[in-house]
Structure 1
Amino acid sequence: MSDLNLLLTLDALLTEGSVAGAARRLRLSPSAMSRSLARLREATGDPLLVRAGRGLVPSPRALELRERIGPLVQEAQAALRPADALKLDKLEREFTLRTREGFVENFGAALLARMASEAPGVRLRFVPKSDRDSGPLRDGSVDLETGVIGSTMGPELRTQALFRDRFVAVVRDDHALARGRLTAKRYAAGRHVAISRRGTAAGPIDDALSTLGLSRDIAVTVAGFAEALALARGMALIATVPERHTGHLRAGLTSLALPLALEPFTVSLLWHPRMEGDAAHRWLRGCVRDVCTAQPASVAHRAPSASSSR
């Protein structure tokens, strides 16, 4: 029997003043209650209830415990009951979201508006996602994270798909690629901005080009989407970025579907399982999911050609 059950048994015995009454209260047999009383006597080193005639009377130690046990049992039972229904209008809490650049620019305003209308006391803190380390979710410094699920993700993490995305080529309107049919050869021949958080330019785009016997002319490598798009906006460079994740960042630029055999990818929401049952955290996850689902995907100005040939 657990310590909490012993406390419940002791509370029932002291309240009823009899083994039979306590047994009825806890829906136990009299023999089971007698065994529990024996365990309580052994644990406390006191007889607790002493026979007097046909009944039982509490010992001085039992009278002392009766004043303390009742509130303890009530607190324990309250702690183990399901949490009260979440009252969003009364919720005061701060959540930390770790995302790559582009998420706040595209989804941040809609997310804040949704939260302000439902839970004005909730605050958000966005922090940059510089790697795929799951440590911040594990240690609690981050509540939620967005990203593409990879092999380095902790196996215990919970995930939920938010949206599908694909890479597009982005140039300014006066760039040569903004006119005419985009082919893999024309795409590869242009000067490119490569994006790599680790400083290495090669990636899935280069692998797809390599299968066609092509390679990019990389003029510069940067760490993020916003930097790549800023350079493409200011110079005759090609930035290849995720379409939905960079929607607002690409405003005023020409976006082109890639003439390459690249599979779309899924951006997901990640959190630690200890937050699974937290009502406020569950509400926040729903807000992020709804906002990302409602945000329409921007359409590339050019459809890819039927062939990926040069």
Structure 2
Amino acid sequence: MQLPDLNLLIALDALLDEGSVVGAARRMHLSPAAMSRTLTRIREAMDDPVLVRAGRGLVPTPRALAMQAQVRALVEQAAQVFQARDDVDMSTLERCFNVRSNDVFFGSFGARVLEAIRLQAPGCTLRFVPEGPGDDDALREGHIDLYVASRRDFGPEIKVQTLFTTRFCGLAREGHPLFDAPITAQRFAAYDQVSVSRRGRARGPIDPALAELGLERRIALITPHFHSAIFGVAGSDLLLTLPEPVLWGMASLGLRMRAFEIPLTLEPVIVTQAWHPRFDKDPAHRWLRQTLKEICSVGQPLSFKQGSTTAAV
């Protein structure tokens, strides 16, 4: 039995992941022309177009989609055969880490994670992947290495570790009439507010807490990202509820904003990192997990002024 060229598996994995001949060529350190020839060989070996033109890009065929997870698993297994089991030299390793998170984590910790990689693993690349459709299977199918989120329903086989616990704070522009008197639940609920939800939801953890007091807020703006919400609040009388880490990097934005304690009893926000068991003993992946854990353990808690419920941002 004649074995196929197993290098084609690696190229196929790169092509399906990137969805681009140019992107796959860059990943494999080949010229686009060489990668295009490799794609031709893959098509001949599989008797399938694999990737077809759609507008200016390429999309996988049904057969390619069906085998994508299998191809990824085979490439990972082959890589593990040649990797040291207990140690890895991060200073010489070349690898791309795919981390899925929302803009809360990236805005608060992204710069420190990148600096750690620059100093300890300069040959590695960090790719932050935004949350979106298909999140539930991304870890199982190997599309991402880590998932950083406050969610809990990853599935029984997924490994989960707490990174940090934080709280919700309020944010408004300087000079907002909310600050003209003590901030009570009634005054807080009286102003139009922003809901941040990538699924377009208007309700959040604030609403049940208000309902227990017989209060209800009006949502005037729904946006998928906290940082876009911040700019909307900066020029209006809207109020924004957000996890405290979002505020840590806001000083550099130069916006005249004030944070305040929300006058409600709310559950803390527990942020975790999750990964598939296939990476549990991978030394490079373990280094990434430990690095994120160490960075997140050194937070920047917001200090509210003595005798006041507000703090400058």
Q: TM-score, normalised by structure 1?
A: 0.68
Cα–Cα, structure 1 residues 91 and 230, in superposed 2: closer, same or farther, change >3 Å?
A: same
Question: 1:87: Cα distance to partner?
Answer: 0.9
Aligned-partner SS, 2:140: helix
1:143 to 142, 145, 149: 145
Residue 278 of structure 1 corresponds to: 282
On the 8 A contact 2:86/2:283 being kept in 1, the answer is no
Residues 68-95 of structure 1, C-alpha deviations (whole Å, 9 max, x = no match) = xxxxxxxxxx959962631111111110
Q: Given that residues 193 and 238 in structure 1 are in contact (C-alpha distance below 8 angstroms), is that contact kept between their aligned partners in structure 2? A: yes
Matched, 1:110 2:108: no
276-285 or 226-235, which deviates more? 226-235
2:243–2:269 contact (8 Å) kept in structure 1: no
Which consecutive residues of structure 1, in runs of 5 or more, have no partner in the other structure?
1-77, 306-310
Q: Per-residue deviation at 1:300?
A: 4.4
After superposition, give the CA deviation of every residue in 1:111-148 in whole Å (9 maximum; x if it has no partner). 11111111110111011113683311111110011111
Deviation at 1:202, TM superposition (A): 1.7
Structure 1: how far apart are the matches of 2:134 and 2:207?
22
Count of aligned residue pairs for this structure pair: 227
CA distance in 2: counterparts of 1:286 and 1:202, whole angstroms? 34
Which entry has the higher C-alpha Rg, 1 or 2?
Answer: 1
Please give the root-mean-square deviation of Cα atoms over the aligned residues, in Å.
2.4
Amino acid at match of 2:102: R
Indicate how the Cα distance of structure 1 residues 301 and 168 shifts in structure 2: closer, same or farther if over 3 A, else same.
farther
Which runs of no fewer than 5 residues in structure 2 stay unpaired?
A: 1-79
Equivalent-residue separation in structure 2 for 1:132 and 1:297 (angstroms)? 33
Shift in CA distance, 273/255, structure 1 to aligned 2, threshold 3 Å: same
Structure 1 residues 205 and 301: alpha-carbon distance in aligned structure 2, compared to 1, 3 A threshold: farther
Higher deviation after alignment, 154-163 or 176-185: 176-185
In the alignment, which residue of structure 1 is the partner of 2:124?
122
Give the equivalent residue in structure 1 for 2:96: 94
1:259 aligns with 2:260: no
Task: Compute the displacement of 1:197 (Å).
Answer: 2.2
Are residues 115 and 197 of structure 1, via their aligned partners in 2, closer, same or farther at CA, if it must alter by over 3 Å? same
Q: Which residue of 2 aligns with 1:38?
A: none
- Is this contact kept in 1: 2:195–2:204, CA < 8 A? no
Deviation at 1:200, TM superposition (A): 2.3
1:176-187 pair list within 5 angstroms: 176-187=177-188
- Residue 218 to residue 279, structure 1, CA distance change in 2 (3 Å): same
Q: Residues 270 and 84 from structure 1, CA distance in 2 versus in 1: closer, same or farther, beyond 3 angstroms?
A: closer
Mapped partners of 1:83, 1:195: distance in 2: 43
Counterpart AA for 1:109:
A
2-structure distance, mates of 1:164, 1:283: 22
